[in-house]
């Protein structure tokens, strides 16, 4: 009976430890699904200014790997981490930015997302 309960515990742990998460581009990737990996901020700026600042910041810190000007999303590699940025226009003068960062094996990196969010905010001034 102990072997069965131990096996069930290991199976449940494996189920919750692995899974899929959604990127800001709308794709699914393999990784830890319930980890906080996104920093969200709002600014009194048009979406185009916020998108340009995010693009400059990602190019400065790493390599830009994807850009979608229709959906206002960016993808980049920064210090062997994958970063996605999504800009959304809430009102004509108010925009929201979401910065998502993940490690190589799918683990969350909220510290990098926070640092990049701060750098984007500093580029706006």
Mean pLDDT value of segment 36-63: 94
pLDDT at 25: 75
Q: In whole angstroms, what is the distance from residue 69 CA to residue 62 CA? A: 19
- Per-residue pLDDT band for 4 (boundaries 50, 70, 90) equals confident
DSSP state of 106: S
Residues shown for the chain: 125
Position 115 pLDDT exceeds 90: yes
Model confidence pLDDT, tens digit, residues 60-92: 999 999 999 999 999 999 999 999 999 999 998
pLDDT at 5: 78
Residues 98 and 23: beta-carbon distance below 8 Å: no
**pTM here?**
0.79
Please name every residue paired with 64 in a beta bridge, in sequence order, or none if there are none: 76
- Considering only 19-23, 48-52, 78-82, 115-119, which range has the smallest mean pLDDT? 19-23
For residue 45, how many other CB atoms are within 10 A of its CB? 18
Instruction: Report whether CATH 3.40.720.10 matches the domain 35-123.
Output: no
């Amino acid at each position: 009976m102990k072997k069965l309960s131990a096996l069930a515990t290991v199976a449940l742990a494996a189920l919750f430890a692995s899974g899929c998460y959604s990127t800001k581009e709308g794709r699914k990737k393999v990784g830890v699904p319930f980890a906080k990996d996104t920093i969200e901020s709002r600014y009194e700026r048009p979406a185009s200014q916020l998108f340009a600042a995010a693009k400059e910041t990602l190019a400065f810190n790493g390599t830009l790997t994807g850009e979608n000007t229709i959906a206002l999303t960016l993808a980049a590699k920064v210090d062997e981490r994958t970063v996605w940025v999504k800009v959304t226009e809430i009102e004509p003068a108010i925009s929201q930015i979401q910065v998502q960062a993940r490690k190589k094996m799918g683990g969350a990196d909220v510290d990098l997302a926070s640092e990049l969010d701060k750098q984007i905010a500093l580029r706006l001034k």
